[in-house]
Structure 1
């Protein structure tokens, strides 16, 4: 399950709307080992395409060095689909290289609504997962007893 703050969801949707009709892409980094998305990092779609996204290799190298220096990992890798549902394409599955990341897709095919879904993609196998949008991680669902995190 992906648990993510509402402000991060709003930022992904805003980025997707801003870059429409091209696909938007980016990363939400979080502390290594936490599975908690924290730092929103919109990226440039180097392909500048309405049907495909590609991270600029120099930007991606800088991002990974920065995350490494901050003890962060890419918790969420997101991109938008501008004319289709929020489901990974065969190309999306083929280029997915982070087995522990949540791959979030935002569809902007409807100008009034958006569709947001999350997937795990490992060795080309796509598995959809539930998304819990929370106001704050402090009171996010933490288990059967729902004890808030300290």
Structure 2
């Protein structure tokens, strides 16, 4: 199961709506030693296309330096799909928020990262939010759970959320 805080999902969807009809893109990041993303970093789509995305190189390098300084790492690649990516929906039966052929090729470069995709048919449409990863070269959908806060389950009755 992959848990992501609701406020982060809200930020991601808001970014996708702002950039519509272009694909929005960004990164969910978290502590180097943790397994929960704690902030969303929206990025510029250098491709400026409705059917593709690429991180702006200067922003990507700046993010890497910032992550190193903070002791953080990239955890999820995030982008939106504003149309069925290079495949007819009726033929495949796959959802809008499903990795395109190009997405899958890029997923191979970052096998330790999950890919969160927001399917958005209109700027004010209902978003479809899904997450995927590669397992033995095959696309596998994560069991995505949107939560209000992350809890430290190993601490007992004094558990507190990671944010107010």
TM-score, normalised to structure 1's length? 0.88
CA–CA separation in structure 2 for the residues paired with 1:72 and 1:133: 21
Structure 1 residues 127 and 19, CA gap change in structure 2 (3 angstroms): same
Which moved further from structure 2: 121-130 or 57-66? 121-130
Larger radius of gyration: 2
User: Which among 79, 91, 99 is matched to residue 88 of structure 1?
Assistant: 99
Structure 1's unaligned 5+ residue stretches are none
- Deviation at 1:136? 0.8
Pair 1:98-2:96 in alignment: no
TM-score, normalised to structure 2's length? 0.81
- Deviation at 1:124? 4.7
Superimposed CA distance per residue, residues 28-78 of structure 1 (whole angstroms, 9 cap, x where no aligned partner): 110013121112100000000000000011211111111111111111110
CA–CA separation in structure 2 for the residues paired with 1:129 and 1:148: 30
CA–CA separation in structure 2 for the residues paired with 1:148 and 1:4: 22
The alignment covers a number of residue pairs equal to 146
Aligned to 1:120: 133
Moved segments of 4+, more than 2 Å: 121-125, 146-150
Structure 2's unaligned 5+ residue stretches are 85-95
User: Are the equivalent residues in 2 in contact too, given 1:138–1:148 (CA < 8 A)?
Assistant: no
CA–CA separation in structure 2 for the residues paired with 1:22 and 1:112: 15
What SS does structure 1 have at the residue aligned with 2:11? helix
Structure 1 residues 112 and 70, CA gap change in structure 2 (3 angstroms): same
- Deviation at 1:138? 2.0
Aligned to 1:62: 62
- Deviation at 1:121? 2.7
Structure 1 residues 117 and 68, CA gap change in structure 2 (3 angstroms): same
Match runs of 1:1-150 below 5 Å: 1-84=1-84, 85-96=96-107, 97-110=109-122, 111-121=124-134, 124-138=137-151, 149=159
What SS does structure 1 have at the residue aligned with 2:48? coil
Q: CA RMSD in A?
A: 2.1
